[in-house]
């Protein structure tokens, strides 16, 4: 991490003054966290973020740091002499807290801020950080993704703080405003709805605002030579797709599918939970697609590579769309609850493929069952995943959280019946809309709707080292797992 400060922390100055003052000084800055079992230093205690206002200035090249100002409005949940923010991969020039200059330093991947006046519990706080946001570095680390014509964001699971200072954990959702200044020949887009577009000479400033709270890992800003395609979905929902301008006509076949996919998902899970939706097609090789809120990120190759059959591309589009309900509107309280995101998105991906192209859920789940014990050996059970490999945080997204978790949902439907299962799905996203929830919340709701205690079922399916027998399919067999590969 390369962060610099024009001031040193007061504690360091006092330490240089006298031994007596050292005793009264605050301890050295240290990285904090909220105790997530998979990312222990992610997030920070002591405050709740209400809103982010992020201003970015892009000079036309994706190999140079962007100038940025991030303003954070929060409420202190305890007395704070210091405020820890998650931030790395940028240079900080100034921090202001409630209108007064604050001292700051770094510790691990935290920016540690010491306000001029300590914050009292329940008080409102505004933190303004002037910094750079550096798009250079390994793409596998997440954060900025350099595209063929600019930039996009891929912040999952813990990379938003490589772009902007934040409380970078889905447990602390907030509203976002983005203000992006770029050369006028380019187009800038972000989550939410457009508020304004203001030209100033050779540059244009675009402003966007979310109407619903959002986890930091779902933030999206894209800058490039893009075409913005507008249409409407169910109930007049604004649908905005963003694609490389050169591919506008070529991609229309795929873009035109979104309204129908929205209607299909609304039939399954209830009204779409946000103010807009669309796909963002990036000219980049990421190796994955990503459910950034209201504007899902897709690789261009998914739509242009003829090796991918149409039914497969359709189902992947629905996977990211389903996340808007499962993972975005209802976000995981901890990263161990990731199965709730990916298991559900995979479930609707498979269900869509069954209903639209005849690739049955049962055949997919039977194949998944064969591999499930190996997946559990390699990555842990669905609700107790093993930590990602050191230096490879994307490795958290293993097969067990996708088809392995969808398999648990299939077993649940086999156990409680299709009608109760569908009621559970709709009730889940309705009761926890715009919030966060845990595995325990889901299992409790399932028991309530089923009218019986399902704790044994969930303990075996979500936490067991071996896959239980599949209800209704006593003939299904798993392959004996081999020893987990060294990580």
- For every residue of 19-48, DSSP letters joined together read HHHHHHSPPPP-------SS-TTSS-SSEE
Helix or strand run (H / E) with residue 340: helix 338-357
Q: Which residue has the tokens 């055949």?
A: 363
C-alpha distances out from residue 103 to 87, 389, 480, Å: 15, 35, 57
pLDDT of residue 480: 87
Q: Which of 271, 279, 272, 299 is nearest to 231 (CA)?
A: 279
pLDDT of residue 20: 27
- Indicate the pairing of strand 83-86 with strand 110-114: antiparallel
Q: Which two tokens stand for residue 140?
A: 């596998």
List CB contacts of 370: < 8 A, sequence separation 6 or more. Answer: 476, 477, 478, 479
C-alpha distances out from residue 346 to 69, 109, 259, 311, 409, Å: 37, 32, 20, 14, 10
CB 327 within 8 A of CB 428: no
pLDDT of residue 484: 62
pLDDT of residue 25: 56
pLDDT of residue 122: 98
Quick check: helix, strand or coil at residue 287?
coil
Q: Is 27 left (phi over 0), alpha (psi -120 to 50) or beta?
A: beta
CA distance 23 to 114: 18
CB 111 within 8 A of CB 87: yes
Buried b (16+ CB within 10 A) or exposed e, 374-405: bbbbbbbbbbbbbbbeeeebbebbbbbbbbbb
pLDDT of residue 139: 76
Q: Which two tokens stand for residue 130?
A: 């002037």
pLDDT of residue 17: 29
* pTM higher than the cut 0.85: yes
pLDDT of residue 306: 96
* DSSP 8-state symbol, 368: H
Mean pLDDT per 10-residue section of the chain, whose length is 487 residues = 36 30 61 94 97 98 97 98 97 98 96 98 98 90 95 96 98 98 98 97 97 98 98 98 98 98 98 98 95 98 97 98 98 97 98 97 98 97 93 88 98 98 98 98 98 98 98 95 67
CA distance 442 to 325: 14
């Amino acid at each position: 991490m390369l962060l610099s400060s024009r001031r040193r922390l007061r504690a360091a100055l006092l330490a240089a003054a006298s031994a007596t003052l050292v005793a009264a000084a605050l301890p050295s800055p240290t990285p904090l966290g909220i105790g997530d079992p998979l990312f222990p230093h992610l997030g920070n205690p002591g405050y709740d973020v209400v809103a982010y206002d992020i201003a970015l200035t892009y000079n036309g090249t994706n190999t140079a740091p962007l100038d940025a100002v991030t303003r954070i409005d929060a409420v202190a949940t305890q007395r704070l002499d210091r405020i820890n923010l998650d931030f790395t991969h940028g240079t900080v020039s100034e921090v202001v807290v409630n209108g007064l200059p604050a001292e700051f330093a770094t510790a691990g991947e935290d920016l540690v801020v010491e306000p001029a006046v300590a914050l009292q519990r329940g008080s409102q706080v505004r933190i303004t950080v002037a910094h750079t946001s550096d798009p250079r570095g390994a793409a596998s680390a997440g954060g900025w993704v350099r595209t063929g014509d600019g930039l996009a964001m891929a912040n999952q699971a813990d990379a938003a703080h490589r772009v902007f200072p934040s409380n970078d954990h889905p447990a602390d959702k907030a509203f976002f405003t983005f203000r992006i200044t770029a050369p006028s020949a380019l187009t800038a887009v972000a989550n939410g709805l457009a508020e304004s577009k203001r030209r100033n000479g050779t540059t244009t400033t675009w402003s966007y605002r979310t109407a619903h709270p959002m986890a930091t890992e779902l933030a999206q800003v894209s800058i490039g030579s893009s075409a913005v395609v507008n249409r409407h979905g169910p109930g007049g929902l604004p649908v905005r797709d963003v694609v490389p301008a050169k591919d506008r006509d070529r991609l229309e076949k795929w873009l035109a599918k979104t309204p129908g996919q929205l209607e299909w998902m609304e039939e399954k899970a209830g009204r779409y939970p946000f103010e807009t939706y669309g796909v963002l097609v990036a000219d980049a090789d990421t190796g994955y697609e990503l459910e950034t809120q209201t504007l899902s990120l897709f690789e261009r190759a998914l739509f242009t590579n003829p090796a991918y059959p149409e039914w497969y591309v359709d189902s992947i589009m629905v996977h990211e769309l389903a996340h808007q309900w499962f993972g975005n509107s209802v976000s995981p309280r901890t990263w161990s609850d990731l199965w709730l995101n990916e298991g559900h998105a995979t479930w609707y991906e498979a269900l869509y493929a069954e209903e639209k192209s005849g690739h049955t859920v049962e055949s997919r789940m039977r194949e998944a069952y064969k591999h499930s014990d190996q997946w559990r050996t390699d990555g842990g059970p669905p609700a107790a995943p093993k930590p990602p490999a050191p230096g490879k945080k994307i490795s958290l997204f293993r097969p067990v959280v996708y088809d392995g978790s969808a398999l648990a949902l299939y077993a649940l439907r086999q156990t409680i019946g299709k009608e109760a299962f569908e009621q559970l799905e709709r009730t889940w996203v309705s009761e926890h809309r715009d919030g966060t929830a845990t595995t325990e919340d889901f299992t409790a709701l399932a028991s309530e709707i089923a009218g019986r205690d399902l704790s044994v079922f969930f303990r075996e399916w979500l936490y067991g080292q071996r896959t239980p027998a599949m209800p209704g399919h006593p003939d299904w067999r798993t392959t004996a797992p081999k020893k987990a590969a060294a990580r």
